[in-house]
Amino acid sequence: MIFKFFFIFFLIILVIKISESVDSTVNVHLIKSRTELAYSFKESLSFKTISFDDESNKIDYDEFLKFHNFLQNKFPIIHRVLKRTVINKYSLLFEWTGSDKTLKPLLLNSHYDVVPVTESEWTFNPWGEIRNDNIYGRGSIDNKVIVMATMESIEAILANNYTQPIRTIYLCFGHDEELGGLNGHRMIARHFRENLVRAEAIFDEGCPFLASNFVPGFHDIIAGVGVFEKGYLFYKLTSKVNSFTHSAIPPKESAIGILSKALAKIESNPFAPIENIEKKNQLLQLFNGETIKSNPFLDAMTKTTTALSMIHAGTKPNIIPTTASAWVSHRIINGNSIEYVKSRILDLINDTRITMEIEGFLEPSPISSPFTTAYQILKQTIYQQFGGYNVKVVPTQLMANTDTRHYWDITDNIYRFMPIVGNFMDFVSIHGSNEKISIDDYIKTIHFYKKLILNFQPFSNSSNSNYINKNLKINDYCPNSIYSK
């Protein structure tokens, strides 16, 4: 009880300190009209910065360099004031040098590469079209929206004569996140290590905020901030038999049959939910057990998941293949490990005629605390931006993977979010067809990053050292959280 009292007392002091360090007197206006901002963003989507993951399609890096030139033309003040470094030919790093070198920098991370499109599945131009107050195009959510919104916000801040922050800020734009970031953010992180840079916090892409009734019956907006990510394990299973291959004389057991039995065992024996996972993932505390079990999105947050994703066998109807292969994907929850998942699957299969070939793996990420100053300022900014709505800000788990995997040793404080309210169809459009953002939501995203940057720190050349409304409160302390122990 005494520890809990002092812990709550510490949180109250932290909130007071944050409120004292910010004020509502700073008023930074955007320097472009609504129409200019919309059409500039549409133009950014016209560059086909596609990351292909198959060898049959060659990546057109000229498009990436054209996007660099586009940014240089659209944001002249940034390119004059900030230091730009090109990392590994195509990734970009902008350094906004602060006046206090003793403070650890803030990293605003994103990526500008996109996944391929099947144009026949799109109703609108996948490379940028404005229709019915929406901006359509690949990357409008994932992830040019953060690149452009952060650039527009900083260009506006600079134009309003806030030219030097106290704390250094880096904009880190990777060019191959959709391929794992090995040549992009991994190299940016290496650059930081070589220069002995240790960050105060990293803000990167995450899940869009869940709109009202995204989970049926829950009417508040859920602003989930990813404080950790699932890991993954991808592998190929192959069965082989030595038998006559003509279909007129079939064997008692075929390669396809053997593999099918193994896949049936895997699919019919899902991983069990992790006990007390809601203490790590506070989003789950908003719902009862029945709601979680009945909702695929929520249920996937409780356990390691299994997906049978590809299968290959045979070449002709009358020839029995001697080999059959299938690919399986697991998203590994914090509390399980790669070795545990691998061992459990092999025990389930229990057949020496089947081999497993690992093709990709990543352990679950470390968990970042939601009680740091950086998280609390982010939380305040969300309340400030979405103050007209009922919104729940909760630390949660990201089920996908981001480039933050390359920064685990750069900072303990990594927060993943997308300051856009999305419904189910918005989620489906990411990596799907007709990806879009409304013009209003895009402009709100620019305002969000403007507020976040100003809220995070004062500016050395400004008499207004404060920004957040002092009436905003941090009131989501959860006594059942793992972080309160």
- Give residue-wise pLDDT tens across range 190-219: 999 999 999 999 999 999 999 999 999 899
Q: Amino acid letter at 397?
A: Q
Output the six-digit token pair for 479: 């006594």
- Of the listed 176, 177, 229, 403, which one is catalytic? 177
Half-sphere exposure in the Cβ direction for 394 (13 Å, CA): 24
Give me the chain's average pLDDT, please.
89
Same domain assignment for residues 192 and 247:
no
More confident residue, 398 or 245: 398
Question: Of the segments 10-19, 102-111, 472-481, which one has the largest average pLDDT value?
Answer: 102-111
- The single-letter DSSP state of residue 250 is -
How would residue 102 be classed by pLDDT, with cut points 50, 70 and 90?
very high
| Average pLDDT of the residues in 267-278 | 97
pLDDT of residue 140: 98
313 bridge partner residues:
324
Same domain assignment for residues 474 and 373:
yes
pLDDT of residue 458: 63
Same domain assignment for residues 247 and 343:
yes
Lowest average pLDDT, out of 98-107, 245-254, 360-369, 460-469, goes to: 460-469
Same domain assignment for residues 396 and 334:
no
Contact yes or no for 165/457 (Cβ under 8 A): yes
Question: Of the segments 175-179, 244-248, 428-432, which one has the largest average pLDDT value?
Answer: 175-179
Same domain assignment for residues 373 and 357:
no
Q: Residue 431, annotated ligand binder? A: yes
- Give residue-wise pLDDT tens across range 214-230: 999 899 999 999 999 99
Alpha carbons 184 and 179: distance in angstroms, whole number: 10
How would residue 163 be classed by pLDDT, with cut points 50, 70 and 90?
confident
- Residue partners of 90: CB distance under 8 A and separation at least 6: 61, 64, 65, 68, 175, 176, 183, 184
Q: What percent of the chain has pLDDT over 90?
A: 79
Whether the per-residue pLDDT at 276 is higher than 50: the answer is yes
Question: Of the segments 20-29, 223-232, 422-431, which one has the largest average pLDDT value?
Answer: 223-232
Whether the per-residue pLDDT at 244 is higher than 90: the answer is no
113 in active site: yes
Q: What is the residue range of 246's domain?
A: 231-362
55 in active site: no
Contact yes or no for 75/40 (Cβ under 8 A): no
Lowest average pLDDT, out of 9-13, 93-97, 124-128, 159-163, goes to: 9-13
Alpha carbons 416 and 190: distance in angstroms, whole number: 21
Query: DSSP characters for 372-413?
Result: SHHHHHHHHHHHHHTTTS-EEEEEEEESS--GGGGGTTT-S-
Whether the per-residue pLDDT at 298 is higher than 50: the answer is yes
**Would the CA dihedral through 181, 182, 184, 186 be positive or negative?**
positive
The single residue listed with the structure tokens 């991370």 is 109
Lowest average pLDDT, out of 3-17, 97-111, 203-217, goes to: 3-17
DSSP E strands, 340-483: 354-362, 391-398, 414-422, 436-438
95 bridge partner residues:
83, 170
Contact yes or no for 194/366 (Cβ under 8 A): no
Whether the per-residue pLDDT at 386 is higher than 50: the answer is yes
Contact yes or no for 451/467 (Cβ under 8 A): yes
Q: Residue 204, annotated ligand binder? A: yes
Total H helices, total E strands in the chain:
13, 15
More confident residue, 23 or 187: 187
Q: Is 149 in a helix, a strand, or coil? A: helix
Predicted TM-score (pTM) of the model is 0.88
Q: Residue 79, annotated ligand binder? A: no
Lowest average pLDDT, out of 51-60, 176-185, 302-311, goes to: 51-60
**Vertex 184 angle, CA 420 and 453, to 5°:** 40
pLDDT of residue 195: 97
- Give residue-wise pLDDT tens across range 316-326: 888 889 999 99
**DSSP H stretches of helix in 118-179:** 144-159
| Average pLDDT of the residues in 271-297 | 95
Same domain assignment for residues 80 and 147:
yes
More confident residue, 54 or 440: 440
273 bridge partner residues:
none
**342 exposed, middle or buried (CB, 10 Å; 0-12, 13-18, 19+)?**
middle
| Average pLDDT of the residues in 325-342 | 98
Output the six-digit token pair for 52: 């292909």
pLDDT of residue 456: 87
Alpha carbons 274 and 174: distance in angstroms, whole number: 33
Cα dist. 22→76, 88, 154, 157, 392 in Å?
29, 38, 18, 16, 22
What are the phi and psi torsion angles at 190 (to 5°)?
A: -60, -40
- Residue partners of 149: CB distance under 8 A and separation at least 6: 442, 445, 446, 448, 449
> Among 362, 383, 409, which residue terminates a domain?
362
Whether the per-residue pLDDT at 117 is higher than 80: the answer is yes
Whether the per-residue pLDDT at 247 is higher than 80: the answer is no
Give residue 177's region: left, alpha or beta (phi > 0; psi -120 to 50): alpha
Whether the per-residue pLDDT at 389 is higher than 80: the answer is no
Contact yes or no for 37/443 (Cβ under 8 A): yes
- Of the listed 113, 129, 205, 229, which one is catalytic? 113
In 3D space, the residue among 29, 27, 26, 71 whose CA is nearest the CA of residue 156 turns out to be 29
Residue 109 sits in a domain of what CATH number? 3.40.630.10
Half-sphere exposure in the Cβ direction for 221 (13 Å, CA): 22
Whether the per-residue pLDDT at 373 is higher than 50: the answer is yes
Rg (CA), the chain: 24
> Among 294, 328, 362, which residue terminates a domain?
362
| Average pLDDT of the residues in 80-100 | 97
Q: Residue 142, annotated ligand binder? A: yes
Alpha carbons 288 and 395: distance in angstroms, whole number: 17
The number of distinct structural domains making up the chain is 2
DSSP E strands, 153-210: 169-174, 201-210
Same domain assignment for residues 319 and 396:
no
Contact yes or no for 436/136 (Cβ under 8 A): yes
Same domain assignment for residues 74 and 151:
yes
Output the six-digit token pair for 316: 């002709």
Same domain assignment for residues 209 and 95:
yes
Q: At what angle do helices 373-385 and 439-456 cross, to 10 degrees?
A: 140
Alpha carbons 162 and 462: distance in angstroms, whole number: 7
| Average pLDDT of the residues in 87-112 | 97
Same domain assignment for residues 62 and 152:
yes
pLDDT of residue 190: 98
Same domain assignment for residues 44 and 121:
yes
Residue 292 sits in a domain of what CATH number? 3.30.70.360
Alpha carbons 201 and 375: distance in angstroms, whole number: 9
Q: Residue 175, annotated ligand binder? A: no
> Among 342, 362, 382, which residue terminates a domain?
362
Same domain assignment for residues 321 and 377:
no
